Amino acid sequence: MTGSSYPTHRQNERLLTQVIDHVAQTDPEAVWMEYPRSASSYDQGFRQITYRQLATAVDKLAWYLHHNVEVESAFQTLAYIGPNDARYALIVYACIKTSFKVLFSSPRNSVAAHLDLFSKLGCRVLVTTKPTPPAVQGILSACQIRLVYLPSVEELLEGGGEPFPFTKTWAEARNHGFAVLHTSGSTGIPKPMVYTHDYITRNINAMQLAASSTRYLCLGQLLHQRRSIYVLPLFHGAGFFYVTCASVWFKACSIIPLSTCPPTIDSLRAILEHTGADWAVVSPSALNSLGQDAEMLEAISTKIQRIGFLGGSASLAMTHKVSRKMQVCSLYGSSECGSFGLLFPDAGGHGLASYLNFHPDVNALFCQHSTGAFELVIKRNDLLLHNQPVFCLFPELDEFRTKDLFAPHDTLAGFWQYKGRIDDVIVFSNGEKTNPQSFESHVCSHQLVAAALVFGTHREEAGLLIEPKAPAQHQDMIEALWPTIEQANLAAPAHARIAMSHICFASQAKPMVRTGKGTVKRPETLQLYKTEIDTMYTQCESVQASLVQPDNIDRVLDEIRCAYTTVTDCDAPPDDTNLFTVGMDSLQALRLARELRRRSGIAALEPSMIYRNPCIAALATRIQSCLIQDSLGQACSSSQELQRTLDEYKSKIRDIGAHDSFMATGCLADSQPGVKTVLLSGTTGYIGSYVLNQLLAHPSCPNLICLNRSADAKTQALRNKEHDQTLASDFSPDRVRFFSVDYTQPKLGLSDGDFAYLLQEVTLVIHNAWTVDFNLPLSAFSPVLDGVVNLVRLCNSARHRPVMAYISSVSAVIKMPARPIPERLVQDAEASGFGYGESKFVAEHMLHEATQCLGLKAKVLRVAQVSGAAYSPGLWNPRDWLPRLVMSSKYLGAIPKTLGTLQVIDWLPVDMLARLVTDICIKSNDAQFAVYHAVNPSLTTWTELLPSVISELEADGSSVLPVSGAEWIQRLRQSAAEVDGAKRTQQANSDAENPALSLLEFFEHTLNQGEPSDSRVWSVENSLAASESLQETGSIRPEWMGRWVRGLLA
């Protein structure tokens, strides 16, 4: 075909409407489209649109536009936004006949993007449907534009109609624009692309480029008179080219899903249960879902022979899985280039499912990029212009650089695998580059992941943003995904590997920003999560107080060795060995510096220190010197930071009285009508779920307002019942209301109406939501401290001025030397633990300030160790230190005989804690400010509980030896340094087997320091006086301990 004169395909010198009218005359009952009869399900089957009906509907719609749209200029632009149904194609055909051109502005565009497109195209008419789509409502709120409502599909198909006069030929209209689509906007504001009839003809020409071998098929052969399902948005380029254009030329029947359903693999299965097809075209995410569901794959593969995907890259692993059951076609196109001439194996080709094979007459060149991949470039060739649509849009260019990157097949020439966009390439602050597409694709192959984005531009190290398919605890997600991430790390360049500390998650409240075809918009998504990403980097670089004594060089050496093992997963080399001669690279040096900063508390410890002191011995000497010089200054700095934060937030509380603007109408100052409506924050967590359950069962039957950061808190609350059947599942909307909130916002991120409802109804606030991370510095807790300010503001402004009860922690005063620690506000700032404890200390003082300056009442409940439930099947939270100790003891074959400073057991079962919280909070109290300790008044010891733990471990088939705390710590350290054998491989794959490793420093501090003591640590007089249930609470029983261990082992 090379060298042929233009145009080769003279049969393609026709307009879309000419093809439609011709088939309507010669084969009127041929089926053009099938769509669901019902608007809400597939149960009623599909309705067919024949070419006779299609031609009539086009004429009727052309007349409708002629009568309802005032013509202002030739080929003026009409924008169309509607449901995903046949009208997306019908309006294109009607606009051809009426000499309009139609703009498909993606409903997912921002209002700013819509208006920018309208401005560039001079568009002043917006065509839509009833009911008005949400995207149209957003546009109307921002600009004045004339609306034209289309008839329904059924109205257009009913009856006959007068033909609309149209006599233009292809030659006359070839350069007339009739449709406008736009670039995806994945890298900025979308750019409009005006398509002419010549552009469409060149696309059809390219799709008909046949292979010289019968073993390969072109797109035209795949489509010709075939029944094709398109689980795609029709406003997107793929939907436009395949459904609106190609279906007509190749006389193919297009089958489309329900307009109200998302384009998922479930839609494809449902369609195939009610109609037949030859093949289907889906999104990459849908193909990934198909590969992850063996039963779904089996069901669909018996119904169709082939499936294509486009709009991005699918997971290689999932593509290969699907290709074992049916032919998989990797399709490719773009807004600028349209559809390319591609060739596909007629049969077999399992290993080529993710590769593209461009026909030579496309004149595609591949130019190497600095990342090592190759950019696709379309080189202009006047003899091949009839196959090159892009030069209709850019006639001045000699070549078009697509900015799409590919990698060649290892052995087969001409086969190329898509590797992402040049715009996606990340350039680190040290000049290194990486293309994250393969990494992201591999992570997306995990069944829990909806999308993944690698970031790190202008940073020293890459990070990973993950959008889960369903809500989950972040630590649980990391643990589940880590084996997959480690696999991706192995294939990534060393400088681009992801550390566990550099993973963050998208929330349901802020889904990743996507294009119309479902591709994630990288810049917009990263901008959306800029605060979270910045916080993550800040937290990773944060410095805490030193865990190392400056006069103990052996401990310094040991910390460096442990840090080296943590970073490299290898045993530390001899102390006098240059670390870089045994394989340490620049990224590992960066991570080692960060780990040593965390362990030593030396803020100035940068990678340059490691480069200048490249062996462990020299590095230890340098670190010890810094510790000796800086220890006093560091302590002063930590104390000053706590005092500064305390002063800042107490001042914010005082400011509430002067600046409060949310006062409820008819505020009844000091009016306490009893506890009628309880506001409870953090109801999805471990403690919150039990407190919610207890409040629901309380005899006073209070109404409940549940505040949570997540948007699906009710679903999560129902899911909690899977772990404990005694938890409530009946959340009657008459009594329980769930709100998704942002605690950092003055009105908690609620609408004016919802916030007014809180002001009017709330009579008691129980604030349980808090960030639980013992590694964070105090500065990282500013968002939750801001939340306290805003809840105090709510109490101060609310109609009933509710009491605010705050779930604090014993870590707020854990360092207080007096024993027992009293139930009162502690003034000594040195009493709190670092970070988390300091934040609780500050919050307690904020509430006390609120009682003094605003006249509010407040209760503080300092919670100590919470165990599993005593009188229900509730499990112990496996992320707590004791479950981690038990599971690691099974792994190590040894268990501590004593727990050092934690030898005395005053744990409180979570269900008993919930009763205590409810007793204290609901009980009336004249005190303006009161403190309570949520600890068990009946003590026992680890020695009493240990036999039941060992018994359950042995019943599970594990032999465990009681050892000293020091020996157990040593075994734990050794397990972290193992590099050989299946044991280490299993550990690397899951934290479940040896979870105590992540708390190694905690156990070192706890088990190696302090003698066992029988003395009581916490005063409980206030709590006992307020709670009859606490008075009846006995010590932790061995049989409870055994049940909790069985739950962990299950």
Q: Is residue 971 predicted with pLDDT exceeding 90? A: no
Question: Which residues on adjacent β-strands are paired with residue 862?
Answer: 808, 933
Residue 659 CA to residue 396 CA, distance in Å, equals 62
H-helix or E-strand spanning residue 634:
helix 616-659
Q: Per CATH, is 553-635 categorized as 1.10.1200.10?
A: yes
Residue 210 or 779, more confident: 210
Q: How confident is the model at residue 30 (pLDDT cuts 50, 70, 90)?
A: very high
Confidence of residue 632 (pLDDT cuts 50, 70, 90): very low
Residues pairing with 374 in the sheet = 368, 406
The yes-or-no verdict on residue 1022 having pLDDT over 70 is yes
Label the pairing between strands 146-149 and 177-182.
unpaired
Where in the chain do CATH 1.10.1200.10 domains reside?
A: 553-635
φ/ψ of 482, rounded to 5, equals -60, -40
Q: For residue 802, is the peptide bond before it cis, meaning its omega torsion is within 30 degrees of 0? A: no
Total Cβ atoms within 10 A of residue 125: 21
For residues 434 and 493, give the distance between their C-alpha atoms in angstroms, rounded to a whole number. Answer: 8
Give the pLDDT confidence score for residue 915 in this predicted structure.
94
Segment 146-203, tens digit of pLDDT:
999 999 999 999 988 899 999 999 999 999 999 999 986 544 578 899 999 999 999 9
Torsion angle (degrees, nearest 10) of CA 1037, 1042, 1045, 1047: -100
Tokens of 925: 């109290």
Strand order in the sheet with 355-357: 355-357, 415-421, 399-408, 374-379, 364-368
Average pLDDT (786-803) is: 95
Q: From the centroid of its chain, how far is CA 107?
A: 22
pLDDT of residue 910: 92
**CATH topology classification for 660-862:** Rossmann fold (3.40.50)
Q: Which CATH class is domain 425-541?
A: alpha beta
Give the pLDDT mean for 628-633.
Answer: 55
Q: pLDDT category, 517, cuts 50, 70, 90?
A: low
Reported as a pLDDT band with limits 50, 70 and 90, residue 554 is confident
When mean pLDDT is compared across 604-613, 734-743, 758-767, 841-850, the lowest value belongs to: 604-613
Residue with tokens 């089926």: 31
pLDDT of residue 720: 66
The Cα 340–Cα 334 span in angstroms is 9
Q: How many helices (H) and strands (E) does the chain have?
A: 38, 40
Residue-wise pLDDT tens digits, 401-417: 998 999 999 888 999 99
User: What residues does CATH 3.40.50.720 cover in the chain?
Assistant: 660-862, 864-1050
Provide the pairing of β-strand 374-379 with 279-282.
unpaired
803 pLDDT higher than 80: yes
In this predicted model, which residue has the larger pLDDT, 568 or 505?
505
Chain centroid offset of residue 383 CA: 48
Q: How confident is the model at residue 577 (pLDDT cuts 50, 70, 90)?
A: confident
pLDDT, residue 950, reads: 95
Give the pLDDT confidence score for residue 548 in this predicted structure. Answer: 65
Other Cβ atoms less than 10 A from the Cβ of 452: the count is 27
**Percent of the chain, pLDDT > 90?**
55
- In terms of Cα–Cα distance, which of 939, 946, 944 is closest to 896? 946
pLDDT band, residue 400 (cuts 50/70/90)? very high
pLDDT of 285 reads 80
- Local structure of 925: helix, strand or coil: coil
Ranges for all domains in the chain classified under CATH 3.40.50.12780: 10-408
- The whole-angstrom separation of Cα 169 and Cα 512 is 45
| Measured distance CA(93)–CA(58) in Å, rounded | 6
Q: For strand 31-36 and strand 253-255, is the pairing parallel, antiparallel, or unpaired?
A: parallel
Long-range contacts of 944-947 (CB under 8 A, 24+ apart): 944/905, 944/1038, 945/905, 945/1036, 945/1038, 945/1041, 946/895, 946/897, 947/1038
pLDDT, residue 765, reads 97
| pLDDT for the residue 185 | 57
pLDDT of residue 391: 97
What does the pLDDT read at residue 876? 87
Average pLDDT over residues 701-721: 82
b (16+ CB within 10 A) / e for 925-942: eeeebbbbbbbbbebbbb
911 pLDDT higher than 70: yes
The residue that leads in pLDDT, 180 or 733, is: 180
Is residue 83 within 8 Å of residue 133, measured between CB atoms? yes
pLDDT surpassing 80 at residue 633: no
Q: How far is CA 1045 from CA 131, 244, 531, in A?
A: 57, 62, 40
Closest by CA to 764, choosing from 655, 650, 914, 924, is: 924
pLDDT at 547: 58
Q: Which letter, b or e, does each residue of 860-874 get, where b requires 16 or more Cβ atoms within 10 Å of its Cβ?
A: bbbbbbbbbbbeeeb
E strand residue ranges, 692-772:
703-708, 736-740, 764-767
pTM score > 0.75 for this model?
no
What pLDDT, in 10s, does the model give residues 88-122?
999 999 999 999 999 999 887 888 889 999 999 99
DSSP-assigned beta bridge partners for residue 449? 468
Strand spans (E) along 389-505: 399-408, 415-421, 426-427, 433-434, 449-455, 463-468, 503-505
Is the distance from CB of 126 to CB of 145 less than 8 angstroms? yes
- Inter-residue contact 390 to 378 (CB < 8 Å): yes
Mind listing the pLDDT tens digit for each residue in 954-969? 998 888 999 988 889 8
Confidence of residue 461 (pLDDT cuts 50, 70, 90): confident
The pairing of strands 101-104 and 177-182 is parallel
Distance, CA of 861 to CA of 869 (rounded, Å): 19
SS3 call for 111: helix
Once rounded to an integer, what is the mean pLDDT over residues 793-797? 95
Q: What is the pLDDT of residues 856-881, one digit of tens each?
A: 999 999 999 999 998 887 778 888 88
Residue 4 is predicted with a pLDDT of: 36
Helical spans, DSSP H, in 445-521: 474-491
- pLDDT at 900 > cutoff 80: yes
Rounded Cα distance, 639 and 545, in Å: 11
Q: Is the pLDDT of residue 665 over 60?
A: no
CATH code of the domain made up of 10-408: 3.40.50.12780
Q: What region, left, alpha or beta, does residue 1047 occupy, with left being phi > 0 and alpha being psi -120 to 50 degrees?
A: alpha
User: pLDDT value at position 866?
Assistant: 93
Helices 474-491, 437-444: inter-axial angle, 10-degree rounding: 130
Topology (CATH) of 864-1050: Rossmann fold (3.40.50)
CB count in 10 Å sphere of residue 633: 9
> In which residue are the tokens 């990773």 written?
540
Average of pLDDT values for 421-434?
71
Give the whole-angstrom CA distance, residue 476 versus residue 1000: 19
Q: What is the mean pLDDT of the chain?
A: 86
Beta strands in 589-714 (DSSP E): 677-681, 703-708
Burial of 251 from C-beta contacts in 10 A (0-12 / 13-18 / 19+)? middle
Q: Is the pLDDT of residue 986 over 50?
A: no
Start-end ranges of CATH 3.30.300.30 in the chain?
425-541
Instruction: Quote the DSSP letter at residue 414.
Output: T
d(CA 157, CA 151): 10
Q: What are 37's two structure tokens? A: 């009869």
Between residues 1039 and 288, the one the model is more confident about: 1039
Band of pLDDT at residue 791, cut at 50, 70 and 90: very high
- What average pLDDT score do residues 906-934 get? 92
- pLDDT at res. 5: 37
pLDDT at residue 48, rounded to an integer: 98
Q: What is the mean pLDDT of residues 478-486?
A: 91
Lowest mean pLDDT across 202-206, 728-732, 801-805:
728-732
More confident residue, 428 or 489: 489
Find the mean pLDDT for residues 315-341. 91
Classify residue 1010 by its DSSP letter: S
Q: What is the pLDDT of residue 1001?
A: 60
- Of the pLDDT bands very low, low, confident and very high (cuts 50, 70, 90), residue 330 is very high
Please check the confidence at residue 262 and state whether its pLDDT lies above 80.
Answer: no
Q: Is the pLDDT of residue 907 over 80?
A: yes
What was the pLDDT predicted at 478? 92
- Residues 380 and 399: their CA atoms lie apart, in Å, by 5
pLDDT over 70 percentage in the chain: 89
pLDDT for position 608: 61
Q: What is the pLDDT of residue 492?
A: 76
